[in-house]
Structure 1
Amino acid sequence: MRSQEIRAKFLEFFKEKNHKIVPSAPMVIKDDPTLMFTNAGMNQFKEFFLGNSVPKSTRVADTQKCLRVSGKHNDLEEVGKDTYHHTMFEMLGNWSFGDYFKAEAIAWAWEFLTDVCKIDKDSLYVTVFEGSKDADQLEQDSEALDLWSKIVAKDRILFGNKKDNFWEMGDQGPCGPCSEIHVDIRSAEEKAKVSGASLVNQDHPQVVEIWNLVFMQYNRKANGQLESLPAKHVDTGMGFERLCMVMQGVQSNYDTDVFTPIIREIETITNSKYGKDEEINIAIRVIADHIRAVSFSIADGQLPSNTGAGYVIRRILRRAIRYGFTFLNTKEPFMFRLVKVLSDTMGKSFPELKDQRQLIENVVKEEEHSFLKTLDQGLLLLDNIVGENKDKKIDGRKAFELYDTFGFPIDLTALILSERGYELDEKGFDIAMQEQKDRSRSASEVSKDDWVILSNDEVEEFVGYDVLDTTVKIVKYRKVTSKKEGEQYQLVFNLTPFYPEGGGQVGDKGYLEAPNGDVVYVLDTKKENNEIIHFAKNLPKDTGEKFKAVVDAKQRKRTECNHTATHLLHQALREILGTHVEQKGSAVHSKYLRFDFSHFAKLSADELRAIESFVNARISNGLPLEEQRNVPMEKALEQGAMALFGEKYGDAVRTIRFGQSIELCGGTHVQNTADIWHFKIKSEGAVAAGIRRIEAITSDAVKDFYSESNNTLLELKELLNNPQEPVKALTALQEENVRLKKEVENLLKDKAKNLKGELLNELTDVNGIQYLAKKVDLDAAGIKDISFELGQNKKDLFLLFASEKDGKAILSCYISKELANDRKLNAGTIVRELGKYIQGGGGGQPFFATAGGKNPAGIPEALEKAKSYLM
């Protein structure tokens, strides 16, 4: 049975059990600060488990794309080494929100696996929570045990501990016991020798967990105590790739049709063969897995970058590139060529892969080019580290610096050192890595108290589209402490005018005013699990009062101007550049706006002017806001509203129209484009391959910009003696500057020719080496030029030149390559050691290196010391 049919059968089975089939949520999470990526099928339903929202259907099923590469669920380092862990994977799941519970979940799971999938009952084992004797004092899950006992042989039921059979959302929140279903796909001969029961949860590649049935019946409080939930829920998750392995009768996830087309393409591109050599097998599995994770992430709007979720995606991609580089001898970009195969095999179920294929290919290819350059640079730096080393053991902290600063993989460092007969101080590297993790963890550590509930019957409502101040009650609050922000309070109201950060728009600020006039400032507003959270430094003295909630109107107005401008900018880009342009991200602040979009080339000055003119024409036209709330999604799309990839939309949406610009948007906007006053582009540039970024300003910021520009112009005119035509005057000055520079260059060349002859005459013989250490009146570039010119005539040359400029010292060492090899001399090591005399440091290659310092008075001593390296 092919994978597409398996997926369809699962969804059809639960559809017949009255479940609503919902689409996969984006893999990249944008409205939950506790997670970067969807790492389990239940993530998109957290608001229902927490009781923050009421689901439209109490029975739901789907296949959810997940990514587990950070935090508690981190499988990255296992991927490729075994045949059943993945970074990106599909999780088939069915949920009950206060509807059915253990009896139905257990019966249906068994029915689907044995009746629909026809999996041999004698190859299946189930686990039941055995209870715990720790502080929780939890009893054995006797209800699940009784239910399983009616349908499964007794020797097929195993007991699991808290680690394996008690599932928790996090340190706080809903949790409960679970029953896992494991499958033994070993041969009959192997089963006869060793019982499958002894291999369950032992990381055996052919005895694997296939389905986890979680019974959410408790809530974990901040103090660690458990309390019963008012409603009980079911959360199940089945590994799609593992199910395919079982159904297709193979021994590895990578032998299923989910992966085999990608693996065949890797074999073709790299001229390698899967299945013969374990190192090559691991490399191919890593690449086949990682291209899926990276492609789905880019399709969902997350580009590789140096921070946050983007850093994780870049790390995954680089891990794959490095495996190809090391074990498959791929020295040119190749992974981007796998995107087409992935799109062909999974595009039917996940159309975003087809729609975004060109973008994914461009981004992956550019990242490959960049990292291959990094690998080349890292190899040179590693050469320097090896060259400076006097024994055969390399300092782990230096290896960590290579990894941390330049992104050079540690296992590649270890491999290269091993090939050269060197040993890596792995303990030193591990210590340096742990110190960095501790610093990072300490900086981001957050402790949250339990919510203090003041009212249970209030449903939070956002009224900020219509009013900027209103009377509110605090429904609940909690204290949050972090190293970065210190002690803060999070407040939830019964209704709020504060817009929560989302859709690129910054959250509102403002204040709460008590009846007695006391004020508590709202520092930020965010959304978490469908609740609007207000951040305050202090807690109001009497939380039971009614408060006047007031949004900072000035900041909101500026933000609205920028947000509406992004809609007009999006329209302008599609009109002027073409309909291939799609929004790939935005940031809307009160001071500026940032807009990322797909496009293949740098924008010309004419195009930028045309875009500005297009937006400003619509501002001048005074287009009114046409807003529709709670429009059915299908109707909104029929009206021409643009939906963005990677965004999660409900059945009912909000549309924003200004003239011909219509988009799905939950943000706040001006009532008329005339309120924006003016739009000005500040910069345009590349973010990634095929992605451009425009930064712009509107309203008051434009007025400030033109005021500052006018002042700058007046200052320049004054410096130019107030000419009537300042541009002509400045052009004439530039032309004169070019002419004078050429004259200076010619004079310096003549000076260098004369100096070269003088320096050749000053060379002395020291132990068979032509030696000179001297202070010269040249800059660093001049010293390098003359050193290499002298080196053309001499093969046994050792030079140390020093110079002084603007109170700074420079030391440059040149050693003939032949001399550096024969006498084991290293210019980089020498200037680093001599740099201490000028209170500085530097480095370079074995035959030429430069150091800079802040103590020119140390130059004579450094020059004097140079001869000692030849003695």
Structure 2
Amino acid sequence: MKSNEIRAKFLNFFQSKEHKIVPSAPLVLKDDPTLMFSNSGMTQFKDYFLGYQTPVSNRIADTQKCLRVSGKHNDLDDVGKDTYHHTMFEMLGNWSFGDYFKKEAIEWSWELLTKEFGISKDNIYVTIFEGDASENLERDQEAYDFWKEHISEDRILNGNKNDNFWEMGEQGPCGPCSEIHVDIRSAEEKAQVDGKSLVNMDHPQVIEIWNLVFMEFNRKANGSLEKLPQQHVDTGMGFERLCMVLQGKTSNYDTDVFTDLIAELESISNKKYGSSQPIDMAIRVVVDHVRAVAFAIADGQLPSNNGAGYVIRRILRRAISYGYRNLGMNEPFIHKLIPVLAKQMGEAFPELPKQQKLINDVIFEEERSFLRTIEQGLVRLDNLISNSEGKVLSGAAVFELYDTFGFPPDLSRIIAEEKGFSIDEKGYEEEMAKQKKRSQKASATATSDWVVVDANASESFVGYDRTDGEVNITRYRKVENNKGEFYQIVLDQTPFYAESGGQIGDSGFLIAGDEKVEVLDTKKENNLIIHITKDLPEVKEGLTAKVNVKRRNDIMKNHSATHLLHQALRTVLGEHVQQKGSFVGPDYLRFDFSHFSKLTEEELKHVNDFVNNKIKEHLDLIEDRAMAFNDAIDAGAIALFGEKYGDVVRMIKFGDSVELCGGTHVVNTSDIYLFQIVSESSSAAGIRRIEAITGDKALAYFKNFEQQFRQVEDKLGKPKDVLASLEKLQYENDALKKEIENYKLQEVKNQKQVWKNQAQTYGDVNAILIKTSMDNALIKDIVFQLKAEIDNLFIVVANSFKDKPTISVGMSDNVVKEKSWNAGNLVREWAKEIKGGGGGQPDFATAGGKDVNGLSKVLELAKELLD
């Protein structure tokens, strides 16, 4: 079976077992502070397990895009080294929420694998949880009894807590699990070594393909376990591994999931997969990583320098680096794989072909940028090697190349070894450990268990209709992080909007009599609305919740203006424009969108005018808070890539602007009052960014402009034509600059001749030792001119300009080579005399300091060197 058939067969099987088939959630998570990415099939169903949301069905099945490159599950460094680890992979899964349990889960997995897929039962082993005395957990006898109805008892193996007790995280639902392993070794290998001895031993041909998790417990903050009120099933089967088994391969990369990508990469690079270990590893890295990066971009996560974006950039750069050093690819090439990927997986994941151009453009620009970084890094590494006093490069310096400039440490090691150098690995690891410690300290959070005040209370948002009301606290917990101690409070019905969809959370107060507790922010965690406070109200019932109305109104103006801006951009620039990110706060709005070029002044004016005209039209807000998703799309509503929508959505309309949105909005566009774009820039490759303001902020913006204009008028003597006066000043200024440049050129010419006349011969070196006072830019100019005119030149300039001492050292290339002198090393040593530091290239370097009195000593040291 082809991979697309295998996927379809899995989903059809569970549909026949009355499971609702749901689409994959986006790779990038937005409302889960514990995870950056979906790293397992159950991630999108956490709300159901935690009881925060009612499932759309008690039985669900899907294939989920997963990414394991951060946190507890991080496979990035293993990818390429073996044939079965991946960054992005698909997880086939079926779930039961309080419906069926172990019996059915085991029975159906056996039926699917052996009857539908035809895997021989003689190749299958299963594991069950052996129990754990420290947790008072007994052996999973129930699972054992169900398994022995299908498979011989000698193939049912005990597994320890590490392998066979699955936990969502340090806290939350958990339970014993039963793994299904398949032995795909040859008959000869099986005859020599019993397969059961290789289960969970990382053997590449005795592999786990499916894990059946039986959610029975909840892990509390203190580490103890308590029984869940309902029992759930959570299963996950590795799609790529299943394809390997069913297609008779011994490597995931030999299945049709990857073979088309590999063939295209072979054509691009002119390198053959299977020809050598370094080439094979590089090809596996590239074809794996391009999938992860492409799906992340399609889901709205662009490469960047922080958070999830940094992880995606790191994955892409790892692929570029392997291509550069193992495949000889010094030009952008990874983007060329996107058409093949989109064709192969577009049917199951339509976001790929729909976003194909954006994915291609972003990857191309990232490649081009990073290849420049590599070239610049090679120069820095060469300087590091040239200036090294021994044959061991500083680990801290190599780490800086990586951390500050993005130069891959593996590449540093390879190049250093080629030139007979090694790296202080201990020093490098120490710097890496310091960085990790800083990162962990910045993100460290300790969260206590929820204190449940009312377990039966419903929890809902009522903020579309009101900004205050009587509320009760249903649960709360304490949180400690690097900013201090806080409380997270959940209310039975809240007017506070939780940060979501680009709109920041509300602030305000919880009031009970004389007690007034400030709500600092409102967040959403796994569909639970959490109010963040410094204090915990003493009263838990009958409180009054009050949203900061002024702030909320400013946010609503900006959010509604964002919708109008989106419509304006699609009208002025074209239907290709798609929202790629937004920020909506009380002071301004930010809108990222796909577009291939900088907007012209005329285009910006059209967009700005379009929004203001919609404001003037006094368009009423029309909303449908409970509309079927498909009906909303049929009605023309815009849905954003990377957002997770349920079967029922909220649709927002202002005239012809129709979008799916959960945010808060003005009731009429006239409430926005005024709209003004304040900047337009590039956010990433193929992505433009507009920042704008509305309402009072926009009015203040124009008042400030008027005030500045009046001040300019006053400075110019209130001329009749201010613009003409400014143009005249610019003309005069340009003329004066040219005159100054001419003076500088003459000064360089004069000084060069003076210095030339002072040249002295020391053996075969022509030396110029000068003490002067002039602009350092002119000094550099003179030094390079003299280097071109005088053979075997060695020049030292001790300069004091505006009471700041500097040293400049230049020499001809043959002096560097024959004398083994290095200008960078010399200025670093001599800079001590002026209480400073510096560096540079072997043929030219500079230093600055604080003590002008040391300049004479510098010239003495230079003369001693010559003597």
Task: State the TM bucket, normalised to the shorter chain.
Answer: over 0.9
After TM superposition, list the pairs within 5 Å mapping 1:34-433 onto structure 2: 34-134=34-134, 136-433=135-432
Q: Aligned equivalents of 1:419 and 1:142: distance in 2?
A: 59
Q: Summarize deviations over 1:646-696 as a string: whole Å, max 9, x none.
A: 111111111111111111110011111111111111111111121100011
Alpha-carbon offset, residue 711 of structure 1 = 2.1
1:795 aligned partner, one-letter code: D
Provide the residue aligned with 1:511 in structure 2. 509
1:500 aligns with one of 498, 501, 523: 498
Q: Aligned equivalents of 2:434 and 2:642: distance in 1?
A: 35
After TM superposition, list the pairs within 5 Å mapping 1:554-593 onto structure 2: 554-593=550-589
- Residues 1:622 and 1:854: Cα distance change in structure 2 (over 3 Å): farther
- Residues 1:171 and 1:834: Cα distance change in structure 2 (over 3 Å): same
Provide the residue aligned with 2:663 in structure 1. 667
Provide the secondary structure at the position in 2 that maps to 1:508: coil
- Residues 1:203 and 1:494: Cα distance change in structure 2 (over 3 Å): same
Q: Aligned equivalents of 2:37 and 2:650: distance in 1?
A: 25
* Matched-pair contact (CA < 8 Å) for 1:622–1:672: yes
Q: For structure 2, which runs of at least 5 residues remain unmatched after alignment?
A: none
Alpha-carbon offset, residue 102 of structure 1 = 0.6
Alpha-carbon offset, residue 620 of structure 1 = 1.3
Q: Aligned equivalents of 2:420 and 2:556: distance in 1?
A: 63
Provide the residue aligned with 2:441 in structure 1. 442
- Residues 1:775 and 1:720: Cα distance change in structure 2 (over 3 Å): farther
Q: Aligned equivalents of 1:511 and 1:864: distance in 2?
A: 72
Q: Aligned equivalents of 2:706 and 2:857: distance in 1?
A: 53
Provide the secondary structure at the position in 2 that maps to 1:406: coil
2:204 aligned partner, one-letter code: P
2:772 aligned partner, one-letter code: V
Alpha-carbon offset, residue 854 of structure 1 = 4.3
After TM superposition, list the pairs within 5 Å mapping 1:692-841 onto structure 2: 692-841=688-837
Q: Summarize deviations over 1:208-244 as a string: whole Å, max 9, x none.
A: 1100000110000000000000001000000000000
Provide the residue aligned with 2:538 in structure 1. 541
* Matched-pair contact (CA < 8 Å) for 2:756–2:768: no
Q: How many residues align?
A: 867
2:127 aligned partner, one-letter code: T
Q: For structure 1, which runs of at least 5 residues remain unmatched after alignment?
A: none
Provide the secondary structure at the position in 1 that maps to 2:606: helix
Q: Summarize deviations over 1:331-380 as a string: whole Å, max 9, x none.
A: 10000000010001001110100000000000000000000010011111
Q: Aligned equivalents of 2:125 and 2:511: distance in 1?
A: 60
After TM superposition, list the pairs within 5 Å mapping 1:852-867 onto structure 2: 852-867=848-863
1:518 aligned partner, one-letter code: E
2:638 aligned partner, one-letter code: M
1:602 aligned partner, one-letter code: K
Provide the secondary structure at the position in 2 that maps to 1:35: coil
Provide the secondary structure at the position in 2 that maps to 1:831: helix
Q: Aligned equivalents of 1:730 and 1:248: distance in 2?
A: 75
Q: Summarize deviations over 1:519-544 as a string: whole Å, max 9, x none.
A: 100011011111100000111123x3
* Matched-pair contact (CA < 8 Å) for 2:755–2:770: no
RMSD: 1.3
1:344 aligned partner, one-letter code: K
1:342 aligned partner, one-letter code: L
* TM-score, structure 2 as length reference: 0.99
Q: Summarize deviations over 1:76-110 as a string: whole Å, max 9, x none.
A: 00001000010000000000001111111111111
Provide the residue aligned with 1:11 in structure 2. 11
Q: Aligned equivalents of 2:383 and 2:821: distance in 1?
A: 12
- Residues 1:853 and 1:730: Cα distance change in structure 2 (over 3 Å): farther
1:94 aligned partner, one-letter code: N
2:536 aligned partner, one-letter code: L
Provide the secondary structure at the position in 1 that maps to 2:126: strand
* Matched-pair contact (CA < 8 Å) for 2:164–2:178: yes
1:142 aligned partner, one-letter code: Q
2:633 aligned partner, one-letter code: L
Alpha-carbon offset, residue 805 of structure 1 = 4.2
Alpha-carbon offset, residue 857 of structure 1 = 4.4
1:509 aligned partner, one-letter code: S
1:107 aligned partner, one-letter code: E
Does 1:32 find its partner at 2:28? no
- Residues 1:555 and 1:867: Cα distance change in structure 2 (over 3 Å): farther
Does 1:522 find its partner at 2:519? yes
Q: Aligned equivalents of 1:554 and 1:858: distance in 2?
A: 62
Q: Aligned equivalents of 1:869 and 1:96: distance in 2?
A: 82
- Residues 1:559 and 1:809: Cα distance change in structure 2 (over 3 Å): farther
Alpha-carbon offset, residue 767 of structure 1 = 4.5
Identity over the aligned pairs, expressed in percent? 58
Alpha-carbon offset, residue 726 of structure 1 = 2.0
Provide the secondary structure at the position in 2 that maps to 1:415: helix
After TM superposition, list the pairs within 5 Å mapping 1:610-649 onto structure 2: 610-649=606-645
- Residues 1:860 and 1:183: Cα distance change in structure 2 (over 3 Å): same
* Matched-pair contact (CA < 8 Å) for 2:68–2:74: yes
- Residues 1:563 and 1:163: Cα distance change in structure 2 (over 3 Å): same
* Matched-pair contact (CA < 8 Å) for 2:489–2:531: yes
* Matched-pair contact (CA < 8 Å) for 1:795–1:819: no
2:605 aligns with one of 605, 609, 615: 609
Q: Aligned equivalents of 1:767 and 1:454: distance in 2?
A: 92
- Residues 1:856 and 1:613: Cα distance change in structure 2 (over 3 Å): farther
Q: Aligned equivalents of 2:412 and 2:597: distance in 1?
A: 37
Q: Aligned equivalents of 1:469 and 1:865: distance in 2?
A: 78
- Residues 1:863 and 1:133: Cα distance change in structure 2 (over 3 Å): farther
